[in-house]
Structure 1
Amino acid sequence: MTTETILLISLAGVISIALAVFMYGYKSKQTRLLRWVFGILRFITLFSILILIINPKFKSETYTIEKPKLPVLIDNSASVGELGQTENVSGLIQKLKENSELNDKFDVSYFSFGNDFSESDSLNFEEKNTNISKALASTNELFKNQTAPTIIITDGNQTLGSDYEFSSATYKNSIYPVILGDSIKYTDLKIEQLNTNRYAFLKNQFPVEVILTYSGSIPVNSDFVITQGATTVYRTNVSFSENESSKTLNFTLNASSVGLQKYTAQLLPLADEKNKTNNSKQFAVEVMDQATNVLVVSKISHPDLGALKKSITSNEQRTISFKKPAEAASILNDFQLVILYQPDRNFASVFDEIEKLNKNTWVISGLQTDWYFLNGAQDNFNKEASTQSDDIQAELNSNYGTFAVENIGFDDFPPLQTEFGALVISVPNEVMLEQTVSGISNGNPLLATMEINGKRDAIWDGEGFWRWRANSFLQTESFQSFDDFVGNLVQYLASNKRRSRLEVSAETFYYNNNPIKISAQYFDKNYVFDSRASLNITVKNAETEQQTNFPMLLRNNYFEVDLNSLPAGEYNYTVSVANEAVSSSGNFTILDFNVEQQFLNADVSKLNRIAQNTGGKAYFTTQYDALIDALLENPNFQNIERSEQKVVPLIDWKYLLALIVLALAAEWFIRKYNGLI
Structure 2
Amino acid sequence: MQTETLLYIILAGIIALSLALFQYFTNRKSMSKLNMLFSFLRFLSVFAVLLLIINPSFNQVKTSIEKPNLVVALDNSCSIEHLKQDSNVKDFIEKLNSNKEIQEKFNLSVYTFGKGLNPLDSISFSETQTNISKTFQQLAEVYKSTTSPTLIITDGNQTYGNDYQFSYRNYKQPIFPIILGDTITYTDLKIQQFNVNKYAFLKNKFPVEAILVYNGNQSVNSNFIVKNGNATVFSKAVNFSKADNSKVINFTLPANRVGVNNYIATLVPLENEKNKVNNNKNFAVEVINQKTKIALVTDMLHPDIGVIKKSIESNEQRSVSILNSSNVISQINDVQLFIIYQPNKNFKDLYGILDSKNLNKFVIIGPKTDLNFINQVAQNYSHDVTEQTEYYIGELNINYSPFIIEDLDFESFPPLISNYGEVNFTVPFQSVLNKSVGGFSTNLPLLATFETNGRREAVLFGENLWQWRAQSYLNEKSFQAFDNFFGKLTQYLSSNKQKSRLNIDYESFYNGSSNIVIKAEYFDKNYVFDSRETLDITIIDKATDVKKTFPLILKNNNYQVDLSSLPPSEYSFVVSTSKENLSRSGSFQILKFDVEQKFLNADVTKLQQLATNSGGSSYFIDDAEKVFEDLLEDKRFTPIQKSSKNTIPLIDWKYLLAIMALSLGLEWFLRKYNGLI
TM-score by length of 1: 0.97
Letter of the 1:157 counterpart: N
Q: CA deviation at 1:669?
A: 2.0
Deviation at 1:29, TM superposition (A): 9.5
Partner of 1:350: 350
CA offsets 1:492-524 (integer angstroms, 9 cap, x no match): 111111111111111111011111110000000
SS at match of 1:81: helix
Aligned to 1:94: 94
**What SS does structure 1 have at the residue aligned with 2:473?**
helix
User: What is aligned with 1:250?
Assistant: 250
Q: Mapping of 1:447-466 within 5 angstroms?
A: 447-466=447-466
Question: Amino acid of the residue matched to residue 12 of structure 1?
Answer: A
Structure 1 residue 623, shift from structure 2 partner? 1.4
CA contact (8 A) 2:501 2:525 kept: yes
Q: Measure how far apart 1:31 and its partner are.
A: 8.0
**Partner-residue secondary structure (3-state), 1:118:** strand
What amino acid maps onto 1:665 in structure 2?
Answer: G
Deviation at 1:372, TM superposition (A): 0.5
Q: CA deviation at 1:30?
A: 7.2
Contact 1:333 1:357 in 2 (8 A): no
Aligned partner of 1:597 in structure 2 is 597
Q: Alpha-carbon deviations, 1:150-192, whole Å to 9, x = none?
A: 1111011000111111223444221111111101111111111
| Residue in structure 2 matched with residue 423 of structure 1 by the alignment | 423
Query: Counterpart in 2 of 1:212?
Result: 212
Q: Distance in 2 between matches of 1:455 and 1:556?
A: 29
Q: Tell me if structure 2 keeps the 8 A contact 1:342–1:369.
A: yes
Name the structure 2 match of 1:112: 112
Distance 2:91 2:9 in 1: 66
Query: Which deviates further from its counterpart, 614-623 or 396-405?
Result: 396-405
Confirm or deny: 8 A CA contact 2:408 2:482 kept in the other structure. yes
Per-residue deviation, residues 118-149 of structure 1 (Å, max 9, x unmatched): 11111100100011111122223321122211
Q: Distance in 2 between matches of 1:611 and 1:196?
A: 36
2:14 aligned residue: 14
Preserved CA contact (<8 Å) 2:144 2:171: no
Cα RMSD over matched residues? 1.6
In 2, distance between residues paired with 1:122 and 1:223? 43
The residue aligned with 2:650 is 650
1:397-436 pair list within 5 angstroms: 397-436=397-436
Q: 1:39 to 1:165 in 2, by over 3 A?
A: same
How far, CA to CA, are the matches of 2:170 and 2:221 in structure 1?
43
Task: Quote the residue 2:502 is aligned against.
Answer: 502
Residue 584 (structure 1) aligns with:
584
1:473 aligns with 2:473: yes
Opposite residue 217 of structure 2, the aligned amino acid is: S
Match of 1:202 in 2: 202
Q: What is the CA distance between 1:457 and its match in structure 2?
A: 1.2
Distance 2:413 2:488 in 1: 19
**CA offsets 1:384-418 (integer angstroms, 9 cap, x no match):** 13223222222222332332212212111122212
- Whether the aligned pair in 2 keeps the contact of 1:182 and 1:602 (CA below 8 Å) is yes
Across the two proteins, how many residue pairs are aligned to each other? 677
1:624 is displaced (CA, Å) by 1.5
Instruction: Judge which range, 554-563 or 430-439, deviates more.
Output: 430-439
CA contact (8 A) 1:112 1:120 kept: yes
Q: How does 1:239-638 map to 2 (within 5 A)?
A: 239-638=239-638
Is 2:540–2:547's contact at 8 Å kept on the other side of the alignment?
Answer: yes
Q: Which moved more, 1:545-554 or 1:585-594?
A: 545-554
Partners of 1:332 and 1:650 in 2: how far apart?
82
Which amino acid is the alignment partner of residue 202 of structure 1? L
Percent identical pairs in the alignment equals: 49
AA of the residue aligned to 2:613:
N
Instruction: Give the C-alpha shift of residue 577 in structure 1.
Output: 1.2
Give, in whole Å, the separation in 2 of the partners of 1:556 and 1:30. 82
Q: Displacement, 1:437?
A: 2.3
Name structure 1 gaps, 5 residues minimum: none
Whether the 8 Å CA contact 1:28–1:35 is kept in 2: the answer is no
**What SS class does the counterpart of residue 238 from structure 2 fall into?**
strand
Task: Tell me by how many angstroms 1:232 deviates.
Answer: 0.7
Separation of aligned partners in 2, 1:31 and 1:399: 86
Whole-angstrom distance in 2 between the partners of 1:49 and 1:437: 51
Q: CA deviation at 1:302?
A: 0.9
Farther off after superposition, 622-631 or 395-404: 395-404
**Matching residue of 1:132:** 132
* Separation of aligned partners in 2, 1:56 and 1:481: 59
Q: Give deviations 1:417-453, integer Å, cap 9, x for gaps.
A: 1222222333211212122223223343211111223
- The question of whether the paired residues in 1 share the 8 Å contact of 2:297 and 2:325 is answered with yes
User: What pairs with 1:13-162 in structure 2 (closer than 5 Å)?
Assistant: 13-26=13-26, 32-162=32-162
Q: Distance in 2 between matches of 1:61 and 1:426?
A: 70
Match of 1:4 in 2: 4
The answer (yes or no) to whether the contact 2:227–2:233 under 8 Å persists in 1 is: yes
Q: Within 2, Cα distance between the matches of 1:70 and 1:554?
A: 38
Maintained 8 Å contact 2:25/2:31? no
Give the letter for the 1:353 counterpart: I
Name the SS of the counterpart of 1:161 in structure 2: coil
Measured after TM superposition, the shift of residue 330 of structure 1 is 4.0
| 1:399–1:556 CA contact under 8 A, matched in 2 | no
TM-score, L = length of structure 2: 0.97
Structure 1 residue 319: Cα displacement:
1.3
- Which AA in structure 2 matches 1:403? F
Contact map agreement 2:399 2:528 (CA 8 A) in 1: no
Q: What amino acid is aligned across from residue 168 of structure 1 in structure 2? A: Y
Confirm or deny: 8 A CA contact 1:401 1:557 kept in the other structure.
no
* Runs of 4+ more than 4 Å apart: 27-31
Counterpart secondary structure, 1:325: coil
